[in-house]
A = this chain, B = another copy of it.
Amino acid sequence: MPTDASKDPHSQPSPSAAAECGCDAVPAGAKGLAPLASALAALRDSCPLMPAERVAVSDAAGRVLAEDVHAELDVPPADNSQMDGYCARVADIGDGAWLPISQRIAAGQPATPLAVASCARLFTGAEIPDGGDVVVMQEEVTLREGEGGTTLAWLPGPRTRGDNIRVQGRDVSKGNRLLAAGTRLDAAALGLLCGQGASHVLVRRKVRVALFATGDELIEPGQPLKPGQIYNSNRVMLSQMLSNFGAEVVLAPLNVADTFEATRDALASAAQQADLIVTCGGVSVGEEDHVRPAIEALGSLDLWRLAIKPGKPLALGSINSPRGDTVRVVGLPGNPVSSWVGGWLFLRPLLGEMTDCSALRELKRLTVRAAFSARTAIRQDHLRVTLATGSDGQLEAHAFPDQNSAVLSSCAGAQALAVIPPHAQLNHGDSVECLWLER
């Protein structure tokens, strides 16, 4: 005869104490806490690589190159003038000569071959006429009227061939590799592509993400708060982080009815539209939650207890998509700081893997001086810090005063995560390794 007790998850074996978020499950067979590296390896294992697509360079900011880009043009494309001045032949100038101005070449205009014993008036960036081998800057040149309305220029000599000429291919030689596959395109990279005349570029498709930042106690900002409810911080925050990391949030449902069937159908629908499903909170809370059984009905889910703080619990799974492949599921903890840290530690590298992007795949490590002290127990801690140069010129990490895992004020403006290993006592002035939160 069933009772409350027989339905209670507590009546099932529960291997450990609850974390700050209430998650207490472990992957089958795991003993104790798993190191971060094992979870990252599992996360990366067999995740799909996004296909390549061609997009306009003007829309490609933040996208990841899917192929090496080689120079198709010399830059400059022809010899040109480094300054406003006069182009002539060194031999015609000799020790100085009056030469008639036979043509005038502005930047962007074609030049005609330089007439014998003449000079060309030209401007910065203008093409060097065939036959010309030196440019004399205008400040050195004297002009006078010649016969029949012509103008003569005095070019002092002697001169050296090539002076003030930027030779074809000096800056970029045709065939050189300009950008490597896996580069995330910043403004300068876009400029480099434009300089080669490229209007389109082959990049990885954006990872399409379905985000389930839901929970019965959560309501959306702008609504009145009822007893027991809290506002949903994670939906907007994680959407923005995913977008910063180059993904496209294609689905972020506000409400999924609180039944197993509705949850399963929502996840199945997400698996049709998305390359990645991110859930936030709820996965392991027990009888109240339908996300875990729904994922297990559609695929598989491992729950990890990681030896890290904040963010001990992490769910990794996959759902069999109707396309025949599998869609990866990452379940982040529900409390805001843990979910923010999880975004940096797990979502960013996963998105890097799925787009083959070197910069996203790993957070850069910087060793700096700690301007704080910290002590850890069995878990590696990740303190939110800003970086600044100390009075002696050395780079210092300053920890936000409140490292409470429920308070996002320690994350807004954070520039790095200071990594404090387990069982450590870090003193003010010690070196500390930081993960640099590059946007």
Q: Could you tell me which A residues sit within 8 Å of B by CB distance?
A: 3-5, 8-11, 14, 16-18, 20-22, 24, 57-58, 61, 73, 75-78, 82-85, 101, 104-111, 121, 123-127, 137-139, 141, 143-145, 149, 151, 166, 170-172, 178-179, 183, 185-200, 215-218, 220-223, 225-241, 243-244, 285-286, 288, 334, 336, 340, 343, 359, 364-368, 387-389, 393-395, 404, 406-409, 411-415, 431, 438-439
A127 to B217, CA, bound (A): 10
A388 to B285, CA, bound (A): 41
Specify the chain B residue showing the minimal Cβ separation from A82.
B20
B107 touches A221 (CB 8 A): no
B123 touches A288 (CB 8 A): yes
Q: How near does chain B come to A5, taking the closest CB pair, in angstroms?
A: 4
Hey, which chain B residues are within 8 Å of A192, CB to CB? 233, 408-409, 411-412
A10 to B153, CA, bound (A): 11
What number of copies of this chain does the assembly contain?
2
A431 to B389, CA, bound (A): 12
A394 to B393, CA, bound (A): 13
B227 touches A190 (CB 8 A): no
A196 to B188, CA, bound (A): 38
Q: A101-B4, A143-B11, A216-B108 are in contact. Are A194 and B364 (CB under 8 A)?
A: no
Choose among A109, A149, A388, A412 the residue with the greatest number of B CB atoms under 10 Å from its CB.
Answer: A412
28 contacts between A and B (CB under 8 A): A11-B143, A18-B85, A22-B84, A22-B125, A24-B139, A57-B221, A58-B236, A61-B240, A61-B243, A105-B228, A106-B288, A108-B216, A108-B217, A123-B288, A124-B285, A125-B215, A186-B412, A186-B413, A188-B237, A188-B408, A190-B237, A190-B240, A191-B234, A192-B233, A198-B221, A198-B222, A364-B388, A438-B439
